[in-house]
């Protein structure tokens, strides 16, 4: 998939190769600065994904307009993903966060950042340099946007869209499992204040969901 992007993800003209992407859900899962990111009872762990998002609104003419960019933590479930790659799509259906600032003049070419995780105010993980922006991606921004908004159901006037552009590095496998109140801090140069979130485990409950007859 990555090699396909290198070969056709930045076309000089016309439509480029389709990227790999996943649906994260509705705005109900979105969290902000200093909010908690949840580890549901039906999984073993969570995982930070430090990246940049594009923020869009669909105009009354049905055309998507980019409002700007923000720091983001996609917060996916790498424990589930590791069991079976086909579980990657449901592993994305987790709370996630953006902010705290919307940057409207970011050119999204070459952006440097880093991520740290703290437990009881002691650092338990440092990502080192994180690179994002078009210069460091296998797809152009225009190609990513084209392949999202080519679908008519994503161009409903008045809708707001948040597009996560991917991360370079994860802490999963290099540290112990997340614990309650672990703090995640994400920084990207030129993207305003750092995004800070805390981790919260939902109490274990193995009771299946029972659907009632209407």
* CATH fold for domain 2-10+31-169+178-201: Fumarylacetoacetate hydrolase; domain 2 (3.90.850)
What's the Cα-to-Cα distance from 113 to each of 44, 93, 122, 170, 187, rounded to whole Å?
A: 28, 25, 20, 13, 5
What's the Cα-to-Cα distance from 3 to each of 10, 18, 136, 137, 166, rounded to whole Å?
A: 12, 12, 14, 11, 16
Q: DSSP for 68-113?
A: EEEEEE--B-HHHHHH-GGGHHHHT-S-EEE-S--BSS---SSEEE
pLDDT (mean) for 63-70: 98
pLDDT, one tens digit per residue, over 8-45 is: 788 888 898 888 888 999 999 999 999 999 999 999 89
Partners of 163 in beta bridges: 54
pTM above 0.75, yes or no: yes
């Amino acid at each position: 998939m990555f090699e396909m992007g290198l070969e056709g993800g930045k076309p000089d003209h016309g439509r480029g190769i389709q990227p790999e992407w996943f649906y994260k859900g509705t705005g109900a899962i979105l969290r902000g600065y200093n909010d908690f990111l949840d580890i549901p009872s039906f999984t073993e762990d969570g995982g930070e994904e430090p990246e940049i998002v594009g923020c869009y609104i669909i105009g009354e003419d049905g055309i998507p307009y980019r409002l700007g960019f923000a720091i983001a933590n996609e917060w996916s479930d790498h424990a589930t993903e590791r069991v079976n790659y086909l579980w990657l799509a449901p592993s994305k259906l987790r709370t996630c966060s953006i902010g705290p600032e919307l940057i409207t003049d970011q050119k999204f070419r070459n952006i440097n950042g880093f991520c740290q995780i703290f437990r009881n105010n002691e650092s338990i993980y440092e990502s080192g340099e994180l690179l994002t922006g078009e210069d460091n991606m296998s797809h152009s921004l225009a190609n990513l946007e084209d392949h999202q908004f080519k679908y008519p159901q994503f161009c409903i006037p008045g809708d707001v869209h948040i597009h996560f552009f991917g991360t370079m590095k994860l802490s999963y496998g290099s540290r112990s499992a997340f614990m309650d109140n672990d703090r995640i801090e994400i920084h990207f140069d030129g993207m305003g204040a750092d995004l800070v979130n805390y981790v919260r485990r939902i109490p274990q409950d193995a009771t299946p969901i029972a659907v009632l007859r209407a």
